[in-house]
């Protein structure tokens, strides 16, 4: 019985460790996006923000969201209360702020604001992925 419990704990910790692969900081994430030619999910949050915490506890632990982000995006999150660096022109005033950026840092769309539910977030990821492929096709076709 003890071995079963230890095995379950180990499996649970491995499953939890396989979350979103967040870049260490903004500049490193952008460098990775350029090297891998992937769009960027960029989230501005605060540890004290109710809706930031809700987003992290719900949408960002959804297996479907994690899979899409880790496969097709470079994900960056900064916390304003930690003083993390990010371009101040991307700060809007509300938190969380969710941007989708091109690898050079240009916003693809206006930001999403608040705790977006997983299904809506997945829909947004699909739109961003499709638009990114279209932009890349135009760039390569020139």
Q: What is the CATH number of the domain that holds 68?
A: 3.40.30.10
Cis peptide before 109 (omega within 30 of 0): no
pTM, two decimals, is 0.87
Strand order in the sheet with 112-113: 74-79, 40-45, 97-101, 112-113
Q: Is residue 43 part of a domain?
A: yes
Confidence (pLDDT) at 2: 58
Q: Is the pLDDT of residue 9 over 90?
A: no
Q: Find the domain containing 107 and state its range.
A: 20-141
How many C-beta neighbours within 10 Å does residue 114 have? Answer: 15
Q: Is residue 97 part of a domain?
A: yes
Q: What is the mean pLDDT of residues 37-43?
A: 98
Q: Is the pLDDT of residue 68 over 70?
A: yes
């Amino acid at each position: 019985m003890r071995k079963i419990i230890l095995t379950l704990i180990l499996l649970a910790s491995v499953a939890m460790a396989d979350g979103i692969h967040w870049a260490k900081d903004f500049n490193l994430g952008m460098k990775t996006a350029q090297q891998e030619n992937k769009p960027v999910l960029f989230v501005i949050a605060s540890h004290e923000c109710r809706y930031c915490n809700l987003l992290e506890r719900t949408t960002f632990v959804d297996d479907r969201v994690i899979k899409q982000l880790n496969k097709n995006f470079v994900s960056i999150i900064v916390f304003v209360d930690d003083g993390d660096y990010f371009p101040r022109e991307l700060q809007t005033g509300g938190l969380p702020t969710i941007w989708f950026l091109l690898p050079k840092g240009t916003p693809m769309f206006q930001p999403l604001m608040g705790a977006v539910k997983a299904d809506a977030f997945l829909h947004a990821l699909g739109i961003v992925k499709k638009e990114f492929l279209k932009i890349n096709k135009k760039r390569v076709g020139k």
